[in-house]
Structure 1
């Protein structure tokens, strides 16, 4: 039987090398394919994510534009409605103003040419956003109320007590959930004095009776501020008699600060009561642009001190200035004045 020839070592080695090269090449190709697959997958994944992100950003941008457009439309609608209210009430308001004897500006509130500077005060504790309270004084007729309420803002209305020319001011106030009373007090230099104005020489009994009458007319009143009153509030004895009478009726006093030498802070300290006062007058001048600048000052003061009180009057320019300053007022929290206690 013939013997089988053994393969030579050289041929076996060459065969093994060829197999090894083939396997190595296969591994390289397979690895490249796998790597390419994953690289392509990641690239595609990133591309899809980028496209999705771009689509979402475009969507958000469109929504933002729609919201801005809606806001502008709403603001325009509110402004138009306000103008319509003012226009609608203009004849009635003119008639009311003639009978009431309103003033062109608020200079009647202050004694002297220079407004007294607001006192320094500490920022309110626990308040994260500055607060601003706007009080509208001299409210006494329906057109005033309509105009203020058309602003759709938390504005504090301070009603003058009823008199011959404004017999229904207390009735109008009774329909509001919150209001103040703007109490006439003696001024140093003011010709158009209101009926039943408190005088420096009034006795404790006279002042107590007047405050009791105010409480009867305005049963829900919790806050009173002074109408004029530069002479009255600069007399410590008169202020002491007033605060005593108000304390008996559980009514707070807010100093309109119609004179720099007001004695209200000293008296309030004696009674261990918090002193609250006006910081900015909005319409010491009648011009609308002036009022808007005063609103800026009020917002800046609130930001610096944590809170502020601004006082204006129910004139058309004041109402329109507030309406046109809504974006600016959004930088603070607009509140009713009782939030500052």
Structure 2
């Protein structure tokens, strides 16, 4: 998929980009020029031992190493408003790495979005204790790449937004996802739901549905 295709998704979506990657940086800079929110999609250690890539955080890293890695990623995309976890089904369940991560975010006044890749995640809990603005993902839109599946997940998202006042979705930049969302997002107006930047939810409650498009 080209950068241009990802950027054609309509509305105020938030772009979550993998750190220290040329593709992620190009997407981030293009989104920033359009005044759209960008967050860092930080790879975190998985319970399945999946390959992590640049800028990854692992359980064997010290506090200094975690902060140095996060700082390097942020220096590349200094306009990022926060981070969320890419994978992380193991790391997000560990108190110390999450505490060190939240300390970094607190010092830089950045937000945290928990992708909730584990039901045992401590990310949101520790962020709350540290005073880091934090929210959790409600729906993954494209675990399957058929239009029927994505449409079904999108309907769940609309229901959650109506019931909870806000709902957060994560999607990926697959061609099938871009095509589906291009058709589905305009339907939000029929439900009186606004698509807003992720950071808007951390400022004040609103009847809205943010959508995070991840680059991985």
Fold similarity call, TM over 0.5: yes
Match in the other structure for 2:213: none
Partner of 1:317: 176
Residue aligned with 1:302, SS: helix
Give distance in 1, aligned partners of 2:27 and 2:195.
23
Aligned-partner Cα distance in 2 for 1:231–1:306: 30
Match of 1:303 in 2: 162
Deviation at 1:290, TM superposition (A): 0.1
Q: In the TM superposition, what is the alpha-carbon distance from 1:150 to its structure 2 partner?
A: 1.8
Between the aligned partners of 2:182 and 2:23, the Cα distance in structure 1 is 27
Of the candidates 151, 161, 170, which is equivalent to residue 25 of structure 2? 170
- Tell me what 1:232 maps to: 91
Contact 1:234/1:262 (<8 A) preserved: yes
| Structure 2 residue aligned with 1:147 | 5
Give, in angstroms, the shift of residue 327 of structure 1. 4.3
Asked if 1:335 corresponds to 2:189, the answer is no
Residues in 1 aligned to 2:26 and 2:179: alpha-carbon distance in whole angstroms: 26
In 1, are the aligned partners of 2:111 and 2:133 still within 8 Å (CA)? Answer: no
Cα distance change on mapping 1:150 and 1:336 into 2, 3 Å: same
Aligned-partner SS, 1:267: helix
SS at match of 1:224: strand
Q: Could you say what secondary structure the match of 1:334 adopts?
A: coil
What number of residue pairs does the alignment pair up?
196
Task: Give the alignment's TM-score, normalised by structure 2.
Answer: 0.85
Q: Which residue of 2 aligns with 1:261?
A: 120
Question: Once superposed, what is the RMSD of the aligned Cα atoms?
Answer: 1.6
Partner residue in 1 for 2:152: 293
Give 1 or 2: higher helix fraction.
1
Provide the C-alpha distance between the structure 2 equivalents of 1:340 and 1:271, rounded to a whole number of angstroms. Answer: 18
Q: TM-score, normalised by structure 1?
A: 0.55
Mapped pair 1:243 → 2:113: no
Give structure 1 stretches of 5+ with no counterpart.
1-92, 94-142
Q: For residues 300-325 of structure 1, what are the alpha-carbon distances to aligned partners after superposition, in whole Å with 9 as ceiling and x for unaligned?
A: 10000000000000011111111221
**Map of 1:221 onto structure 2:** 80
- 1:311 aligned counterpart, secondary structure: strand
Over 3 Å counting, the alpha-carbon distance change for 1:169 and 1:274 in structure 2 is: closer
Aligned counterpart in structure 2 of residue 200 of structure 1, from 59, 73, 76: 59
Q: How do residues 82-161 of structure 1 correspond to structure 2 at under 5 angstroms?
A: 93=1, 143=2, 145-161=3-19
Instruction: Report the Cα distance in structure 1 between the residues aligned to 2:131 and 2:89, rounded to whole angstroms.
Output: 23
Counterpart Cα distance in 2 of 1:199 and 1:185: 6
Per the alignment, in what secondary structure is the counterpart of residue 162 of structure 2?
Answer: helix
